[in-house]
């Protein structure tokens, strides 16, 4: 027997440091953010099965439904998102996770947490090709995490001594993860030693940032975020607009600012312990929307 309708919810995420190099096995620090995405699944009663959603989401729904033994055409699926889509803030991972949670309730097939995560990972790959899993890990775990893809224990919960206020600024240029990740892979395959060194150097920055975070040394953490942005620039995933936003944030007092997520557009994060609002205003003056999010200890959202 199936539920009349079922809702799954999942959080967005932010990568503090380590995007891209995390795909190659280096560590990343990421966190869930207090913005959610909600998927509602109900039996279809005529009309467009999935409402107004894109092709990749359709494909993801079809795959996920089949894994639960449900004919995709029999479903109506609605998505409501507080997470800006395609901005590097984990909307694809949140969609995948919320969808699996909703389908599990709808079909009355409860799953263990690990099964939810592995099914959501399969679905996330519809969007990303070969995602490292960091976005999903942050959404599933909540709080601030250390993530190392090939480690025996890939997710470690980090406990910053104080909650961390982060400015998240949107470039207004949505982008997919697939393109920047696969173009960087092409460059890596052409010059594996050179790009491998840059990934390892980024890993060293992330390892140092873990120490700064644990010590509550936000000036140092900010410097390391700046170093990470320099390396992302060297990897070729930043853009003139992103660089301009980073400069604006630093001029307005941020101790650290960098792109977050896959780059090529998307979003910037800034750490401004002495005045996040000044950074928000400086960005707004130049037409960039931003908001402040508080990263704190674990508080998983939307689990079953
Ligand atoms: C995307 O949010 C983060 C990337 O490192 C890709 C991934 O880890 O799958 C760019």
pLDDT digits (tens, 9 = 90+) for 165-189: 999 999 998 777 888 999 999 999 9
Structure tokens at 95: 């969609």
CA of 164 to the centre of ligand 1 (A): 22
**pLDDT tens column, 198-230:** 999 999 999 999 999 999 999 999 999 999 999
CA of 268 to the centre of ligand 1 (A): 14
Nearest atom in ligand 1 to 181's CA: 10
Residue whose structure tokens are 């699926």: 77
CA of 144 to the centre of ligand 1 (A): 16
Choosing from 135, 186, 204, 217, the catalytic residue is 135
Which of 291, 283, 222, 230 shows the shortest CA–CA distance to 257? 222
- Mean pLDDT across the chain, nearest whole number? 92
Q: Closest residue (by CA) to atom 2 of ligand 1?
A: 261
CA of 192 to the centre of ligand 1 (A): 19
Give percent of the chain above pLDDT 70.
94
d(CA 241, CA 173): 9
* Cβ neighbour number for residue 219 with a 10 Å cutoff: 13
pLDDT for the residue numbered 51: 64
* Cβ neighbour number for residue 162 with a 10 Å cutoff: 9
**At 297, is the pLDDT very low, low, confident or very high (cuts 50, 70, 90)?**
low
Higher pLDDT, 13 or 54: 13
Pocket test for ligand 1, best of 134, 178, 183, 228 (most atoms within 8 A of CB): 134
Helix (H) or strand (E) holding 210: helix 192-215
Q: Is the pLDDT of residue 301 over 70?
A: no
Nearest atom in ligand 1 to 20's CA: 5
Q: Which residues line ligand 1 (CB under 6 A)?
A: 15, 19-20, 22-23, 88, 128, 131-132, 134-135, 177, 181, 261-262
Give this prediction's pTM. 0.93
The pairing of beta strand 144-147 with beta strand 164-170: unpaired
């Amino acid at each position: 027997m199936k539920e009349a309708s079922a809702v799954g919810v999942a959080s967005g995420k932010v990568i503090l440091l380590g995007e891209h190099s995390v795909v190659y096995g280096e560590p990343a620090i990421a966190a869930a953010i207090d913005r959610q995405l909600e998927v509602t699944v109900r039996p279809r009663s005529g009309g467009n099965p999935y409402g107004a959603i894109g092709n990749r989401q359709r494909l993801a729904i079809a795959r996920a439904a089949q894994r639960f033994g449900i004919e995709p055409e029999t479903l109506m699926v609605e998505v409501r998102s507080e997470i800006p889509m395609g901005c590097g803030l984990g909307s694809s991972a949140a969609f995948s996770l919320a969808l699996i949670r909703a389908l599990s309730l709808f079909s009355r097939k409860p799953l263990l947490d690990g099964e939810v995560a592995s099914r959501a990972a399969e679905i996330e790959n519809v969007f990303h090709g070969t995602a490292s899993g960091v976005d999903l890990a942050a959404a599933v775990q909540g709080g601030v995490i250390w993530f190392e893809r090939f480690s025996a224990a890939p997710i470690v919960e980090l406990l910053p001594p104080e909650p961390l206020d982060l400015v998240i600024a949107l470039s207004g240029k949505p982008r997919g993860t697939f393109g920047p990740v696969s173009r960087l892979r092409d460059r890596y395959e052409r010059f594996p030693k050179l790009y491998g060194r840059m990934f390892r150097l980024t890993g060293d920055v992330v390892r140092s940032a873990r120490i700064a975070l644990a010590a509550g040394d936000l000036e140092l953490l900010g410097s390391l975020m700046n170093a990470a942005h320099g390396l992302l620039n060297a990897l070729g995933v930043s853009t003139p607009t992103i660089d301009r936003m980073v400069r604006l944030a630093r001029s307005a007092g941020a101790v650290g600012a960098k792109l977050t997520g896959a780059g090529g557009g998307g979003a910037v994060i800034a750490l401004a312990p002495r005045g996040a609002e000044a950074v928000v205003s400086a960005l707004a003056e130049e037409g960039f929307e931003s908001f402040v999010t508080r990263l704190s200890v674990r508080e998983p959202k939307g689990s079953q």
